[in-house]
Amino acid sequence: MIKNIAVIRGDCIGPEIMEQTVAVLDKVAEKFGHTFIYKEAPMGGEAIDKFGEPLPQSSLDTCLQSDSVRLSAVGGPKWDSVPKEKRPEAGLLRLRSAMGLYANIRPAKLFDELREASPLKPSITQNGIDFVVVRELIGGAYFGEHKTEKLDGEFYAQDIMGYSEHEIERIAHVAFQTARKRRKSVCSVDKANVLDSSKLWRKTVTKVAENYPDVRLSHMYVDNCAMQIVRDPSQFDVIVTENLFGDILSDEASMITGSIGMIPSSSLGDGTRGLYEPIHGSAPDIAGTNAANPIGMILSAAMMLRYSFNMLEEAKAVEDAVDAVLKAGFRTGDMISEGKIQLGCREIGREICFRI
């Protein structure tokens, strides 16, 4: 198969982990007889430096014309002082919205090999951690009206958090369908005791659930959910929630698995074209030192193979290679523990390629 892949190399550690991911994809192409054609689409800090804006039209066009988009991570202190609408994050939000990527899937999985790296006590992790956060990605407070004004002699700012029924329905369908392929349980997270948008969320998710009688639906308030994730994460299979709650809960969920550097994510809309990225940031403190963990990024390539290209065997080959590297005792600095062998970003990438 021939696939066109838009590549957003990103900022800080971005290019380093992208290089390893492209090497892994090239290995997959060689082994399974595919051709992957990469086209660069600068976005974020790199694009601000080159074009004066975080998402130039040419990059957006490249993404929209591709079969899928690979993204590492954008942003860094260098661009912290640019105005909000020109920040790297603004480019990412515009890209998500322009591509119609309303469903963001973020798995939280405790790898057996990394059990000791979880900050939770063994008595809590003993039942395992294996759930996914299905986060609504192009609605809510992120995309509602933002306003800062002077009112009665002081500044007043607001961000409107709103949802329409169809926005809730489509993400609810994604959650139920995801659960069907897993342990058939959806926990919908909201703040329906306070927010109107959450009341509509709960009502709409409950209605969509009628189409999935085989899936168990429960509801939880977001504050309680934040607590339950550290109290007993094994209770969750699929968590579905709105954009801002999902942003916060997915960071919490990744932390309890031991290394935020290991977790991939996918963002999809109605078609098969997706945006695949690790969930971690651009780690400016270790940029250029070959210390970054490329595994989250490489596992997101596996997600791309599976979900956008329907290359199931290929995806599994990548995941198995990652497992094998961990089993062999190789670790990057962020997940090192006693008795394991510390390697750099390039070397971990090479070990993974070798095992594909």
How many Å apart are CA 161 and CA 166, to the nearest integer? 15
List Cβ neighbours of 4 (8 Å cut-off, separation of 6 or more).
37, 39, 65, 66, 67
Of 14 and 349, the one with the shorter C-beta distance to Mg ion is 14
- Identify the active-site residue in 11, 27, 102, 142: 142
Identified catalytic residue from 159, 251, 320, 323: 251
User: Does the CA dihedral 132-137-139-140 come out positive or negative?
Assistant: positive
Q: Which does 89 bind (CB under 5 to 8 A by kind): ligand IPM, Mg ion, none?
A: ligand IPM
Residue 92 engages ligand IPM in binding (rule: CB under 6 A):
yes
Q: Shortest approach of ligand IPM to residue 247 CB, angstroms?
A: 4
Q: Interface residues for ligand IPM in 93-112 (CB under 6 A)? A: 93
How far is Cα 258 from Cα 114, in angstroms, rounded to an integer? 7
Q: Are the C-beta atoms of residues 49 and 12 closer than 8 Å to each other?
A: no
CA pair distance 346, 355, nearest whole angstrom? 14
The answer to whether 236 touches 187, Cβ cutoff 8 Å, is yes
Interface positions, 247-276, toward ligand IPM (CB under 6 A): 247
CB of 242 to Mg ion, least distance (A): 14
User: Which residue number, 3 or 109, has a Cβ lying nearer to ligand IPM?
Assistant: 109
DSSP letters of 214-265?
Answer: TSEEEEEEHHHHHHHHHH-GGG-SEEEE-HHHHHHHHHHHHHHTS-GGG-EE
Q: Which two tokens stand for residue 107?
A: 């798995």
* CA dist., res. 91 & res. 190, Å (int): 27
Stretch that binds ligand IPM, among 77-85, 87-95, 176-184, 211-219 (CB under 6 A): 87-95
Quick note: the x/- pattern for ligand IPM over 33-72, rule CB under 6 A, is ----------------------------------------
Interface with Mg ion in residues 236-275 (CB under 5 A): 247
Question: Residue 11 CB, nearest distance to ligand IPM (Å)?
Answer: 11
Residue 202 Cβ, how far from Mg ion at the closest point, in Å? 24
Closer CB to ligand IPM, 113 or 247, in the complex: 247
Which residues neighbour 73 within 8 Å (Cβ) at sequence distance 6 or greater?
Answer: 10, 11, 12, 13, 14, 17, 277, 278, 280, 281, 282, 283
- The nearer residue to ligand IPM, 242 or 247, going by C-beta atoms, is 247
Q: State the minimum distance, in angstroms, from the CB of residue 281 to Mg ion.
A: 8
Gap between the terminal Cα atoms of the chain: 18
CB of 238 to Mg ion, least distance (A): 19
Q: Which of 223, 232, 270, 285 is catalytic?
A: 223
Does 247 qualify as catalytic in the annotation? yes
Cβ 136 to ligand IPM, closest distance in Å?
Answer: 11
Out of 19, 89, 320, 347, which residue is the one contacting ligand IPM (CB under 6 A)? 89
* Count of residues engaged in binding ligand IPM, rule: CB under 6 A: 4
Burial letters for 66-77: b for 16+ Cβ neighbours within 10 Å, e otherwise? Answer: bbbbbbbbbbbe
70 backbone φψ class: left, alpha, beta (φ>0; ψ -120 to 50): beta
List the catalytic residue out of 27, 247, 276, 334.
Answer: 247
If contact means CB under 5 to 8 A according to the sort of partner, which of Mg ion, ligand IPM, none does residue 92 touch?
Answer: ligand IPM
Residue number with the smallest Cβ distance to ligand IPM: 89
Q: Is 136 in the site for Mg ion (CB under 5 A)?
A: no
Task: Note the residues at the interface with Mg ion (CB under 5 A).
Answer: 247
Q: Would you tell me which residues interact with ligand IPM (CB under 6 A)?
A: 89, 92-93, 247
**Annotated catalytic sites, by residue?**
142, 191, 223, 247, 251
